Structure 1
Amino acid sequence: MNFTNTPSFISHGPRPGLRLALAVVASVALLVGDARLGLMDPAREALSVALYPLQWVVNAPLSGAQHASEFFADQARLKQENARLKTRELKLSAQLAELATVKNELAELKAMNALRAQRAEKSLLAEVLYTGRDPFSYKIIIDKGQDAGLVAGQPVVGDAGLIGQITRVQPLTAEVTLVINKDQMVPVMVERTGVRAILYGYGGGVELRYLPVHADLVIGDRLVTSGIDGVYPAGLPVARVTKVERKPGAAFLQVASLPVDGVYRQRYVLALDTGANRPPAPQPQP
């Protein structure tokens, strides 16, 4: 069947030229209306709201990767900063501890020099190297010995008072037995009253023994060397009374005392030369 000459009942619209002219006119009208009156703003807002989920889905992988990269970079940087700050803190702590030690040593040296200037006896400044091998012997080793002229028997003092006596001398070092040693005895007197007694070490502390029960002694009295033995010069602080107990029927007081502070912490000491004050050795009997 031939449809060539069949009339068309369907309208195909305006011609292409007319369509182009209408499109141009509409475009210009929209451009002018949008520029002058903002006619397309509601359309843009509606379109942006409608396309936002699609935009978020498209940008989510890139944004997530960027945030993850920044997170790990921040973590690495924080770890490095934390390690650097810890190292700096340790260095500063070590420097502060060293500074405090030097400050204490300087104060101790100043006190020792002041004490040295006050004493009439010749003295030698020495540094404590270490304690004895037996911790219960209460002995220390100083860095001066026979080369410095030290001899056994010399008293050793700290900035607070008497701390011990030289008991063994070697060429370069000397051994000092502290007053808290159980074999040490020091003639003392009560500074307030002048009452004389013997101070005994008992291994870690000192105590007065064989003091009459009627003796004038109270808590807080300071005990100083009496000087009657010729070994320890008079007036050196040794201990302070911390307890006085008078038991009924007892012949002697029970007295507890605390040695001077330097016995436990002294770094520098003075070895006193009291040879001129010592009595001559007794002659043997015929």
Structure 2
Amino acid sequence: MLLCVMAASALMFVDHRFTRMEDVRAQLSTVVAPIQWMVAVPSDVLAWGSLALSDQRALVEENRRLREQILHLSHRVQHMASLTAENVRLRELLGAAAGNETPYITAELLSLDADPFTHQMVIDRGRRNGVYVGQPVMDASGLVGQVTAVSAYSSRVLMVADASHALPVQVNRNGLRFILQGSGRYDELHVLHVPETADIREGDLLITSGLAGRFPAGYPVARVAEVVYDPGQPFAKVTATPVARLQRSRHFLLLFPPDPAPVPDDEEWDRELPGGIDNDAMFPEPATEEGLDG
């Protein structure tokens, strides 16, 4: 026991002082991946056994609910088809480029972090599948988080509920942009620096804004749960609830958003303004004394 404690302390010290331990941790995660799969086998077996032994009436009721859900989703898809066609016509009218669908791969949950002060999980996709650090992770309802560490066969995901996680969002109703930060609880997020005059209401859907290029724009993140105005404070206190099922989802999507366009340097900017107007003609150099004398 004493030797294990000493070894663990030495490893934590080396990991804190040297960056080379990242590669070592990745290699160890690759070695531990089969053990994580074996640990997940009993829960999968129990889930299969409970499903096999479940009552037929419960299965019939669940089947009925799923049929109703399919019917509801089919109605929404039919409505979305008309909206998509209208969007294409409007884009053609304006000459705008068509939006491309973001590619993705599926992943499954391997384990959850046992530390109650962090909200992280391990999924069964890694470097062999093209996963990279910073990659967005979704479930069927909304944004779950982003990848923070990658090994050959597995990856670690930091959830949006973690207190160290923050991302830019916007209100779907009016486009107002804010920063959404985790609170350390699965059911609560904080919207930072909201002025008292901001038009944000309970029930507003918060989606990714696409700023900074980390998360693609337009994906649901949270829904505003409470807006509290304190006359003595410059900002309102706004809390939101994640739309993703952070504690129940087992299957996820790893998105591959396109790389953001590089920002040109000052030397790369064209000297001419739109419409063929010369920038030097619009903003000439100030006259010198010699020029005035001439």
TM-score by length of 1: 0.57
The aligned counterpart of 1:162 is 143
1:212 aligns with 2:195: yes
Alpha-carbon distance in 2 for matches of 1:275, 1:192: 25
Alpha-carbon distance in 1 for matches of 2:264, 2:161: 27
Alpha-carbon shift at residue 249 of structure 1 (Å)? 3.1
Alpha-carbon distance in 2 for matches of 1:97, 1:130: 29
The amino acid that maps onto 1:263 is L
Alpha-carbon shift at residue 276 of structure 1 (Å)? 2.0
The aligned counterpart of 2:43 is none
Change (3 A) 1:281 1:181: farther
The aligned counterpart of 2:212 is 229
- When the two structures are aligned, how many residues end up with a matched partner? 181
Alpha-carbon shift at residue 186 of structure 1 (Å)? 1.0
Change (3 A) 1:189 1:168: same
Specify which of 41, 54, 58 is matched with residue 96 of structure 1: 54
Q: Could you report, residue by residue, the CA deviation over 1:227-251 in whole angstroms, capped at 9, with x for unpaired residues? A: 0110101111100111101111321
Change (3 A) 1:267 1:186: same
1:195 aligns with 2:153: no
The amino acid that maps onto 2:211 is I
Specify which of 256, 260, 285 is matched with residue 239 of structure 2: 256
The aligned counterpart of 1:272 is 255
Q: Report 1:143-182 matches (<5 A).
A: 143-182=124-163
The aligned counterpart of 1:131 is 112
Alpha-carbon distance in 2 for matches of 1:164, 1:280: 26
Alpha-carbon shift at residue 279 of structure 1 (Å)? 4.8
The amino acid that maps onto 1:132 is D
Alpha-carbon shift at residue 129 of structure 1 (Å)? 1.1
Change (3 A) 1:239 1:267: same
Superposition RMSD on alpha carbons, in Å? 3.0
Alpha-carbon shift at residue 258 of structure 1 (Å)? 0.5
1:245 aligns with 2:245: no
Q: Could you report, residue by residue, the CA deviation over 1:183-202 in whole angstroms, capped at 9, with x for unpaired residues? A: 10010001111110000011
1:141 aligns with 2:122: yes
Alpha-carbon distance in 2 for matches of 1:281, 1:172: 37
Q: Percent same amino acid among aligned pairs?
A: 35
Change (3 A) 1:93 1:176: closer
Q: Report 1:64-143 matches (<5 A).
A: 95-96=53-54, 120-143=101-124
Structure 1, gaps ≥5 residues long: 1-90
TM-score by length of 2: 0.56
Alpha-carbon distance in 2 for matches of 1:168, 1:195: 32
Conserved? CA contact 2:206–2:223, under 8 Å: yes
Which structure has the greater CA radius of gyration?
A: 1
The amino acid that maps onto 2:173 is R
